Structure 1
Amino acid sequence: MNAPKVIVAGLGDSGLLTAIHLAKHADVVGVSSKPGLVSGQELGSRLGRPEEWSRNYWLDFGQYRGLDTVRTVHASLTATDLDAKTVTWVEDGESVTEAFDALVISTGVTNGFWRSPALQSTDEVAADIASHHDRVARSARVMVVGGGAAAVSTAANIALRWPEKRVDLYFPGDRALPQHHPRTWKTVRRRLLDAGVTLHPGHRAVVPHDFHCDRITSGAVRWQTEQATSTADAIIWAIGRVRPNSGWLPSEVLDVDGFVRVNRYLQLPEHPAVFAVGDVAASDPLRGSARNRADKLVARNVMSVLNGRRPHSYHPRRRRWGSVLGVQPDGLQVFAPNGRATRIPRWSTDRVLQPLVVRRGIYGGVRDTPRSSGQPS
């Protein structure tokens, strides 16, 4: 009996892990607009220390042992017929339509210049990373606009990488990280100040409606909250103006904001063999399936449905949790949902966490270089 065919649409952080789990049980096809994982995580590290960031967050698909049996397709998704169970994409200029037994939608969101659905080659990804780093490196004064984890991490990492720069963080509320526990902000605030970041609470920027934060700008920023205009050589917009990458899907499966409607099983209510996971899924107010290891749940639910078994429910968290600033010279600080922090020493992140827990445990093995033709797995 042939294994069921599962198409995983989008191989970002969530889709990649889902494909790895499914590959043990199904014939998996993964479709990605990038030639490998180009993670949306750790923007600050990507801008400040791109070589270090690339070792963990930009990897060729051929480096993942768990994808050895997965057919990865470098293409742009264009359409799907959920009733006919087909997905259409453009690959090398040709339109391709392929049937599926189950579909996992994990195409994520567009969020600034660091998370885009554009079809890119390896050279184009490398050029983007280098140009954004160089842009910040050349700037004496850097302004970060936004109050979420991406903004906070960016301000901290730039200040730590270039202590001579003036780094300002502007956010609209009394505190940043409003979706985290207040204890988290209290700890992170102290670290920002120690790094030399100047904090500007209560500043809500005037942002043109058609500006999608897709580039680093310079010049002046005006404030809806009526403070004096601020200026900087490099302005990084991390204001959470996300757009779901769902234009290839029929509108009837989307909510009013374009996110994919799912039930408690992360399943499309009208299409039991179709699931969504990650930032594109309207799973809960925080869209937390992207950060709470729902990839394993979705993979299990796909196989349950295909085999006539009952799927399992997704239980979202009420607060953001995890690392905020990423790995620093003194290690990694991880925040629980209650805001309490655990520190992992730097030697442990380098020798234990990344090679054993992440690469071997979570991803099932990661090679230092891509698997070549004829190379044993």
Structure 2
Amino acid sequence: MNKKPTPRPTVVILGMGDTGVLVASRLNKRFRVIGVSTKTNLVSGQELGKRLADLPWWQTNYNTPLRQFKALAGVTLVHGKAEHLDISTNSVRIALSNGETESIDYDYLVIASGTSNGFWRTDTVQSASEIAADLSHQAQRVKAASSITVVGGGPTGVSVALNIKRADPSKKVSLCVSGTLPLPGYHSNARAFYQQALSDAGVDLLCQDRVVAVDEKQLSGSVKFASGASISSDAIIWTIGNRKAHTDFLPEHLLDEDRFVKTLPTLEVQGTENIFAIGDVASTDPERSSARNWAYGVLVHNLRRKAKGKPANKAYVPPANRWGSIVGPQENGLTLHQADGKRIRLSKRLVDTVLLPMIVRRFIYRGVKPDH
């Protein structure tokens, strides 16, 4: 007598950015996976500087239709936005891109809905054509400006200022940093390295003076500092790290005081048995660093154990300092900064022929089909 096949547990992933795609690609064979995404593409929040200074290159590597990921074959992709989570019924209501709503049941839920942070990270529901128009508009705004003020000295601000200046040295580029050095949270060696790189490129580094009257909708004109000084430019780019978690659809008891998801070291959501959180939305540490550092492997391991009736037993351990690429590939190669302050330089040829096509697309993302 033939036995009926046991139905695979359903995993719903809310958010198909970098982290959501990586989780889905590792669960696809053992679970029925449903990925909910506000975008039809994986529009990465990484490398904003390259995105604004060299959009064609960035498009090739960081704007990928979800249907092109080979490891997502069999994953049900839902284009919409989470509207309400009902823990009592293990279901989530989705506002679909066509204006309708759909309720999706799950056995396990992964919250990877991310955060809004400036114009480059949003939860706006967009089609491929709307994504392309938005990318082009922002790049053209930078290209048309002869003077640019970048407000915020984190990795995004440093990347934007340095990439724009190197792409067009004729532009006047100023980077406003409230502290003594850019890149808070990084090792002192990395901070000193980019202070020198910015200076060598000709970026005006304005330190130890905080911008007052912050208005992220202001795209040009003057910004004023606490000292009374001011600066005017054709374009203003705000990279102040003012993140808003995409968690309005979640019950209040799952959120911390800043509305990020309360998350255990196992990446399980506090107070739940079958919900996980990962990425910028997960309150794992002050930097919410599970968006990086291979945390998706921890989540996948623990979710698989839970599905077998075993407790989660692997913990995500945040690094002491931030690490990795800060400004992306340059003409002289890619510089990777380690948490201990050491740095590694990969040649441009190695990046173009091995790192991006082989390690990133083939190994990490498990294959990307060409766009026909």
Between the two proteins, what is the percent identity of the paired residues? 38
Q: 1:178 aligns with which of 184, 189, 194?
A: 184
Partner of 2:338: 336
| RMSD of equivalent CA atoms | 1.1
Residue deviations 1:82-138 (CA, integer Å, cap 9, x gap): 121101101221110011000000000000000010001111111111111111111
Structure 1 runs, 4 residues or longer, greater than 3 Å off: none
Ranges in structure 2 where 5+ consecutive residues have no aligned partner: 1-5
Q: 2:102 aligns with which of 96, 100, 107?
A: 96
Shift of 1:216: 6.1
Partner of 2:123: 117
Q: Does 1:315 align with 2:320?
A: no
Partner of 2:142: 136
Shift of 1:207: 3.2
Partner of 2:201: 195
CA distance in 2, matches of 1:216, 1:106: 29
2:124 match: secondary structure: coil
Partner of 2:3: none
Given residue 280 of structure 1, which amino acid in structure 2 is its aligned partner?
V
1:140-289 to 2 correspondences below 5 Å: 140-208=146-214, 211=215, 213=216, 215=217, 217-224=219-226, 226-289=227-290
> Do the aligned residues in 2 keep the contact of 1:110 with 1:116 (CA within 8 Å)?
yes
> Do the aligned residues in 1 keep the contact of 2:182 with 2:194 (CA within 8 Å)?
no
1:191 match: secondary structure: helix
> Do the aligned residues in 1 keep the contact of 2:268 with 2:275 (CA within 8 Å)?
yes
Q: Does 1:37 align with 2:38?
A: no
CA distance in 2, matches of 1:202, 1:339: 23
Q: 2:92 aligns with which of 63, 87, 95?
A: 87
CA distance in 1, matches of 2:44, 2:228: 35
Q: TM-score under structure 1 normalisation?
A: 0.95
Partner of 1:8: 13
1:93 match: secondary structure: coil
> Do the aligned residues in 2 keep the contact of 1:203 with 1:227 (CA within 8 Å)?
no
Shift of 1:227: 3.9
1:58-77 to 2 correspondences below 5 Å: 58-77=63-82
Q: 2:356 aligns with which of 350, 354, 357?
A: 354
Shift of 1:262: 0.8
Shift of 1:153: 0.3
In structure 2, relative to structure 1, the CA distance for the partners of 1:216 and 1:329 (3 Å cut) is farther
Q: TM-score under structure 2 normalisation?
A: 0.96
CA distance in 2, matches of 1:280, 1:193: 34
CA distance in 2, matches of 1:362, 1:110: 25
CA distance in 1, matches of 2:90, 2:209: 48
> Do the aligned residues in 2 keep the contact of 1:87 with 1:98 (CA within 8 Å)?
yes
